[in-house]
């Protein structure tokens, strides 16, 4: 750690980690609902719908806190200056966490906007917007005052501004269900396949630059090409969600073609990560942080690239749309791309924030491999359930619940795997919160 | 490649895709009124949409394929279970799904609000959305019907059963819905005449019947399906 104000990041990380554990616990309850019959009395007070809203909103909240913390960590080093106002950073953290807590308590009492993934109701939306504005102002002012521009900073700021702007499209009430979903995807798709990818690209570039000591010029060149391809394929690729909503038919072409190209920039990211690691100029200090960075790139490609491609063409999507196939992809992609990215940043920054040069990697490795194998297997079991559903319900025309009966076994296995996944998460989070320096071997 | 060239790739890629996307968004707004029958978007439908959101139905049910995957898609629910079927399930989910392994919450929704929800579902069901979901596609049913009738050894009654929505509520040979009883052995308890009567007017046979009268069958179809079911023993 070189700058005092980087320390704020630590609290963003800590809170994000706690929320991560809660999110995954709620995921287990969802899988329980699929596997066993929950009695009517419980369904009446705590339905699946509420639990799902909590699971997904905690997910978004912890990841955004992670990104913001990461930004507060990176920007001082990139600009070579302290954060413009640490007090604003605190204020913003408190505002966002308070909003999240109120929103989740609200869900329990039925206070919701009722739009999947965007359940946070309007008055709280405005607090989120204010929090985001404070954040952008603080980061922007830090950069402007420092007057030392780098491509990494520019992409980071651009991605964050884009992210915040898109959020606005999810706030209004749309009378027409078709238009409603049209703009819902401006938030969901353009986030994960647009703005968040920019943030990811910038953060990964920063981490790789620091870890490998590869020349900045090279890292930044790759970054431009990657985000160019991400946005080229990702913006028009939004069309892969417009096939069956009542939008014009040309979306089948536009969405199909552009989104089929979306795996390319992700593949490029894998290649450039490997390339930088191979041509590193520095010595490996914490090998586990490297494992995380490479693991993130590869899992990102599997979950988003391969799994996304598998159901993105309209001929296939007609049968898999809105089935457990979607869930399989959602989990692998979110985990591979954004959970692992955040963990990479945490393992990169937290040792420095704690003044630990070399950390003890035993628990970290145990946690990482447990999470990755459990999630990969969960992706497969969700996927098998999804293929069964697509075939039985959509091709054979079986009733919804009859088809679900045949999928139940696989949802049950997912539940068991989920327990292992949670164990991996708990180990990782514990390790990050109470990190230990490596014990020196007797020389 | 130089950093400058990389920058131009970035700029060109982003701007071209964004320009295409914005133009098509404008065109979508031009066409959407026709595709979604916006002229039928009455205040009742909008009230129904609000009610649908207020009760967070969408985090269990998908609509147009989006939302939670825990419960049946509601895009064509009115076509699938009929208006009375929808009313009954929203009013009394604890009874309608008493025998099911999966429950829907009883949210005590007032009757007027249920009518709004129904209007909303009816409106959504008419959206021209590329004939999704496949399981409710009319095209596919008529194709299936033709194939079934053409196949030797399969009775026309079976074809009627499969194509006229009975399978949404009833299962045969393990496939079909679970709202009504499986009918694999219905011929043991009911005669062909009773079955015919049941289909036309369930309440005349069983005053507590929950099955809506199946009014879109022709007399011949009714006769065939009753004969087919009457023989299942
Ligand atoms: C890291 C990046 C990505 C993340 C986090 C992600 C996440 C998700 C999530 C959560 C959904 C479900 C949304 C919902 O309906 O509730 C979804 C849907 C979808 N994603 Fe991705 N995705 C990513 C990248 C991709 C890519 C690169 C492709 C294509 C190559 C893709 C193709 C799809 C398709 C086709 C659907 C719609 C599924 C359906 O019809 O139900 N995704 N994605
Ligand atoms: C123990 C681990 C987990 C289990 C058992 C689990 C289970 C579930 C279930 C059953 C659903 C509901 C799908 C539906 O509507 O039918 C869901 C939704 C979702 N979960 Fe998880 N989850 C777990 C961990 C995670 C993690 C670690 C992430 C992200 C990194 C995640 C991201 C999501 C997303 C994005 C959705 C919405 C999916 C969509 O709309 O397609 N979950 N989860
Ligand atoms: Fe997408």
Which residue has 């062909």 as its token pair?
B192
* pLDDT class of B144 with cuts at 50, 70, 90: very low
- Indicate the average pLDDT of chain B: 88
Which chain A residues in 324-343 lie under 8 Å from chain B, judged by CB atoms? 324, 326-327
Contact A193, A237 (CB under 8 A): yes
Closest by CA position to A273, among listed A302, A300, A293, A292: A293
- Count of all residues that appear for chain B in the document: 233
CATH of domain B137-230: 1.10.760.10
Q: Which atom of ligand 2 is nearest to the CA of A25?
A: 1
Residue B85 contacts residue B74 (beta carbons within 8 Å): no
Cα–Cα dist A140/A129, whole Å: 16
Binned at pLDDT 50, 70 and 90, residue B140 comes out as low
Residue A154: predicted pLDDT:
96
Are B55 and B113 contacting, i.e. CB atoms less than 8 angstroms apart? no
Question: How far apart (Å, rounded) are the C-alpha atoms in residues A386 and A368?
Answer: 26
Cis, peptide link before residue B200, omega less than 30° from 0 = no
Q: A298 CB less than 6 Å from ligand 2?
A: no
Integer Cα distance of A423 and A295 in angstroms: 19
Q: Would you say A48 and B60 are in contact if contact means Cβ atoms under 8 Å apart?
A: yes
Q: Which fold has domain B38-128?
A: Cytochrome Bc1 Complex; Chain D, domain 2 (1.10.760)
A233 touches chain B (CB under 8 A): yes
Residue B120 has pLDDT above 90, yes or no: yes
pLDDT for B215 equals: 82
Residue with tokens 């520019």: A154
Q: For residue range B13-59, what is the model confidence (pLDDT) as tens digits?
A: 999 999 999 999 999 999 999 999 999 999 999 999 999 999 999 99
pLDDT at B207: 84
3-class state of residue A154 by DSSP: helix
Q: What pLDDT, on a 0 to 100 scale, did the predictor assign at position B141?
A: 52
Q: What is the pLDDT of residue B150?
A: 53
- Domain locations along chain B: 1-34, 38-128, 137-230
Rounded to an integer, what distance in angstroms lies between the CA atom of residue B162 and that of residue A102?
49
Task: Report the C-alpha gap between A387 and A383 in whole angstroms.
Answer: 6
Under 8 Å CB pairs connecting chains A and B tally to: 240
Mean pLDDT of B79-99: 87
Q: What is the pLDDT of residues A360-370, one digit of tens each?
A: 999 999 999 99
> DSSP string covering A212-279, please?
H---HHHHHHHHHHHHHHHHHHHHHHGGGG-TTTT--TTHHHHHHHHHHTTHHHHHHHHHHHHHHHHT
User: How much is the pLDDT for A28?
Assistant: 98
Question: Is A173 an interface residue toward B (CB < 8 Å)?
Answer: yes
Q: No. of H helices and E strands in chain A?
A: 18, 0
Contact assignment for B35 to A38 by CB distance below 8 Å: no
Report the separation in Å between the CA atom of A3 and the middle of ligand 3, taken as the mean of its atom positions.
38
What residues does B67 pair with on adjacent strands?
Answer: B62
Candidate from A52, A241, A308 with most ligand 1 atoms within 8 A of CB, to mutate? A308
The residues with which B172 forms a beta bridge, in sequence order, are: B175
Dihedral angle sign, alpha carbons of residues A263, A332, A299, A390:
negative
Considering only the beta carbons, identify the residue of B49, B103, B132 that sits closest to A177: B49
Identify which has the larger pLDDT, B80 or A71.
Answer: A71
B176: β partners: B171
Q: Do A405 and B69 touch (CB under 8 A)?
A: no
Same fold, B38-128 and B137-230: yes
Q: What is the DSSP track for A36-79?
A: SPPPHHHHHHS-HHHHHHHHHHHHHHHHHHHHHHHHHHHHHHHH
Question: What is the token pair recorded at B224?
Answer: 């065939």
Q: How many CA atoms lie within 13 A of A189 on its CB side?
A: 23
Distance CA B129, CA A247 (A): 7
The per-residue pLDDT for B74 is 98
Q: Tell me, what's the pLDDT at A323?
A: 98
| Residue B217 near residue B195 (C-beta atoms within 8 A) | no
Span B99-116, pLDDT tens digits: 789 999 999 999 999 999
pLDDT of residue A385: 98
Please say whether the structural domain A4-436 has been given the CATH code 3.10.20.90: no
Model ipTM? 0.95
Q: At what angle do helices A340-353 and A48-79 cross, to 10 degrees?
A: 50
As beta bridge partners, residue A437 has A359
The C-alpha atoms of residue B161 and residue B228 are separated, in whole angstroms, by 9
Residue segments in chain A with a per-residue pLDDT below the cut of 70:
1, 440-443
Q: Terminus-to-terminus CA distance in chain B, angstroms?
A: 77
Q: Where do the domains of chain A lie? A: 4-436
Among the atoms of ligand 1, which is closest to the Cα of residue B65? 41
pLDDT for residue A196: 97
pLDDT at B81: 81
Residue B210: the pLDDT is 85
Beta-carbon contacts of A378 under 8 Å, excluding residues fewer than 6 positions away, are A331, A414, A417, A418, A421
What per-residue confidence (pLDDT) applies to A284? 87
- Quote the DSSP letter at residue B153: T
Residue B162 has a pLDDT of 79
pTM over 0.80: yes
pLDDT at A116: 98
Contacts of B44 (CB under 8 A, 6+ apart): B115, B116, B119, B120
Is pLDDT of B147 > 60? no
8 Å CB contact between A158 and A90? no
Give the pLDDT of residue B159: 79
Contact status, residue B172 vs residue B184, Cβ threshold 8 Å: yes
> What separation in angstroms does the CA of B110 have from each of A108, A374, B106, B117?
21, 45, 11, 11
Contact A176 B20 (CB under 8 A): no
Which residues are within 8 A (CB) of B40 and not within 5 positions of it... i.e. 6 or more apart? B123, B126
Q: What is the pLDDT of residue A441?
A: 62
């Amino acid at each position: 750690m070189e700058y005092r104000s980087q320390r704020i990041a630590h609290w963003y990380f800590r809170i994000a980690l706690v929320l991560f554990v809660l999110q995954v616990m709620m995921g287990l309850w969802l899988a329980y609902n699929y596997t066993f019959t929950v009695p009517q009395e419980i369904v009446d007070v705590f339905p699946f719908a509420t639990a799902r809203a909590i699971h997904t909103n905690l997910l978004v909240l912890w990841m955004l806190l992670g990104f913001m913390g990461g930004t507060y960590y990176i920007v001082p080093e990139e600009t070579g200056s302290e954060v413009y106002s640490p007090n604003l950073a605190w204020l913003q953290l408190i505002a966002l966490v308070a909003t999240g807590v109120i929103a989740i308590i609200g869900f329990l009492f039925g206070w919701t906007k009722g739009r999947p993934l965007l359940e946070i109701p309007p008055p709280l939306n405005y607090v989120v917007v204010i929090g985001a504005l404070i954040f952008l102002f603080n980061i922007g002012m830090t950069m402007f005052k420092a007057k030392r521009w780098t491509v990494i900073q520019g992409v980071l700021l651009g991605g964050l501004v884009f992210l915040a702007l898109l959020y606005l499209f999810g706030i209004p009430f749309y009378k027409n269900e078709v238009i409603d979903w049209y703009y819902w995807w401006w938030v969901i798709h353009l986030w994960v396949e647009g703005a968040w990818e920019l943030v990811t690209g910038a953060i990964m570039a920063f981490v790789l630059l620091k870890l490998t000591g590869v020349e900045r010029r090279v890292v930044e060149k790759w970054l431009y090409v990657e985000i160019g391809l991400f946005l080229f394929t990702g913006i028009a690729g939004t069309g892969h969600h417009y096939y069956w909503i009542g939008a014009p038919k040309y979306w089948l072409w536009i969405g199909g073609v552009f989104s089929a190209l979306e795996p390319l920039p992700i593949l490029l990211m894998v290649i450039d990560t490997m390339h930088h690691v191979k041509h590193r100029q520095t010595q490996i200090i914490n090998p586990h942080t490297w494992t995380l960075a490479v693991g993130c790139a590869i899992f990102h490609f599997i979950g988003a690239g391969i799994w996304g491609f598998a159901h993105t063409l309209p001929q296939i999507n007609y049968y898999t749309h809105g089935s457990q196939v979607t869930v399989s992809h959602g989990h692998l992609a979110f985990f591979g791309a954004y959970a692992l990215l955040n963990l990479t940043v945490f393992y990169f920054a937290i040792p420095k924030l704690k003044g630990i040069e070399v950390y003890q990697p035993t628990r970290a490795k145990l946690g990482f491999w447990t999470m990755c194998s459990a999630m990969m297997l969960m992706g497969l079991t969700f996927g098998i359930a999804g293929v069964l559903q697509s075939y039985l319900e959509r091709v054979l025309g079986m009733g919804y619940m009859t088809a679900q009966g045949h999928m139940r076994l696989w949802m049950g296995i997912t539940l068991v795997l989920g327990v292992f996944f949670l164990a991996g998460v708990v180990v990782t989070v514990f390790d990050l919160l109470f990190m230990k320096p490596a014990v020196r071997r007797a020389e | 490649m130089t950093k400058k060239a990389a920058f131009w790739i970035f700029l060109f890629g982003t701007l071209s895709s964004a320009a295409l996307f914005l133009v098509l968004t404008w065109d979508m707004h031009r066409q959407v009124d026709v595709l979604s029958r916006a002229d039928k978007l009455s205040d009742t439908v909008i009230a129904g949409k609000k009610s649908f959101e207020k009760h967070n139905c969408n985090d269990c049910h998908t609509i147009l394929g989006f939302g939670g995957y825990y419960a049946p898609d509601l895009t064509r629910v009115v076509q699938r279970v009929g208006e009375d079927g929808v009313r009954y399930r929203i009013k009394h989910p604890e009874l309608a799904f008493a025998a099911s392994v999966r429950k829907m919450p009883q949210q005590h929704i007032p009757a007027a609000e249920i009518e709004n929800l129904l209007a909303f579902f009816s409106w959504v069901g008419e959206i021209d959305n590329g004939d999704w979901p496949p399981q409710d596609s009319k095209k596919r049913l008529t194709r299936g019907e033709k194939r079934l009738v053409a196949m030797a050894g399969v009775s026309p009654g079976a074809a009627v059963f499969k194509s006229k929505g009975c399978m949404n509520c009833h299962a045969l040979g393990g496939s079909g819905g679970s709202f009504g009883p499986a009918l694999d052995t219905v011929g043991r308890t009911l005669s062909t005449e009773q079955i015919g009567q049941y289909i036309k007017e369930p309440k005349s046979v069983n005053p507590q019947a929950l099955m809506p009268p199946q009014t879109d069958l022709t007399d011949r179809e009714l006769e065939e399906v009753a004969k087919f079911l009457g023989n299942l023993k």
